[in-house]
Amino acid sequence: MDSQSALVQQIAYLKKEKNAVILVHSYQKPEVQDIGDYVGDSLGLCIEASKTDADRIIFCGVHFMAESAKILNPDKIVVLPDANAGCPMASMADAEGLGKLKSENPGVLVVCYVNSTAEVKAESDICCTSSNAVAVVNSLPKDKRIIFVPDKYLGGYVCEQTGRDMILWPGYCPTHQKILPEYIMEKKRAYPRAVVLAHPECSKETIQLADVVGSTGYMFSYCSESEKQQFIIATENGLLYRLKKFNPGKEFIPASDLAVCPNMKLTTLRSVCRALDRMEPEIDLDPELIRKSYDPIARMLEVTA
């Protein structure tokens, strides 16, 4: 047996022994996606985390995702296999700065993209993911001004879709910024019949060239249900593995080979196996912070239900 198969076997054994569930974001490495009990987008993962009856959660994604799972399951052990798997966009917003912005805009509501720290969530009224951001903003009273934190591109897209004027925090995803409009133009010339799908974390100029805009979960369902055969995918390239695996007859073209999130690729079969064996590195959050950051996530889940 090769070392990869041995690790897969050991992971299956430990998972059963520890009554653990493995949640995997679709930007993870192919071999990590293959051992997931659930593979999906940020919203799907939040929903799975909110209803799991496993005692322990192994979160193959980045820190804010595992943190959200812990906020939803304070009594469970939540483990992020690689402690260095952070999200640079989440690090671009801080609770102190957000508090200051709120005090400068009295009566404002804060919509917080889940790609944020628990401290920033605790300062917010409601969370959203890329798949429900428009619905979340539409659920808020029309007479209220809104601060959208931290992604200025997702926020800008939501402004356009909802007609709401929002104060945008100046954060962004460094990986999606690498998908330049000229790359899309190049791919459109090479594959004139292909449908272009873009994630709303991409810049406005890139989004404008897309036929379809949506979360990774939406892109997956769209491509799986479409009768079209060729798709240009403008998001982190990990999604292409899942698209190809479940749609073997279709062709998926990455918009840019540069769209690789280094943090999402830190998790390996070895680190998952170690995490299951030792139940560390564990997500440890102050109970008061869990209490304050729970409501914005729960409100989001209510809007999505």
| Residue 145 DSSP symbol | -
| Binding partner selected for residue 42 from ligand SF4, ligand 13P, none, CB under the kind-specific 5 to 8 Å limit | ligand 13P
| Binding partner selected for residue 125 from ligand SF4, ligand 13P, none, CB under the kind-specific 5 to 8 Å limit | none
Q: What is the DSSP code string of 10-41?
A: HHHHHHHHTTEEEEEETTS-HHHHTT-SEEE-
Residue choice 21, 146, 261, 283 for contact with ligand SF4 (CB under 6 A): 261
Q: What is the DSSP code string of 186-222?
A: HHHHH-TTPEEEE-TTS-HHHHTT-SEE--HHHHHHH
When asked if residue 131 is in the footprint of ligand 13P (CB under 6 A), the reply is: yes
Give the x/- contact pattern for ligand SF4 in 8-47, rule: CB under 6 A.
-------------------x--------------------
Contacts with ligand SF4: how many residues (CB under 6 A)?
A: 14
Query: Which residues, 137 to 176, sit near ligand 13P by CB under 6 A?
Result: 173
| Binding partner selected for residue 233 from ligand 13P, ligand SF4, none, CB under the kind-specific 5 to 8 Å limit | none
Alpha-carbon torsion 130, 74, 270, 64, what sign?
positive
User: How far apart are CB 235 and ligand SF4 at their closest, in Å?
Assistant: 8
Residue choice 62, 72, 179, 272 for contact with ligand SF4 (CB under 6 A): 62
Rounded distance, CA 185 to CA 196, Å? 10
Max distance between CA atoms of the chain, in angstroms, equals: 63
Report whether 297 contacts 72 (CB < 8 A): yes
When asked if residue 52 is in the footprint of ligand 13P (CB under 6 A), the reply is: no
When asked if residue 201 is in the footprint of ligand 13P (CB under 6 A), the reply is: yes
Task: By CB under 6 A, name the binding residues for ligand 13P.
Answer: 41-43, 87, 115, 129-131, 173, 201, 215-216
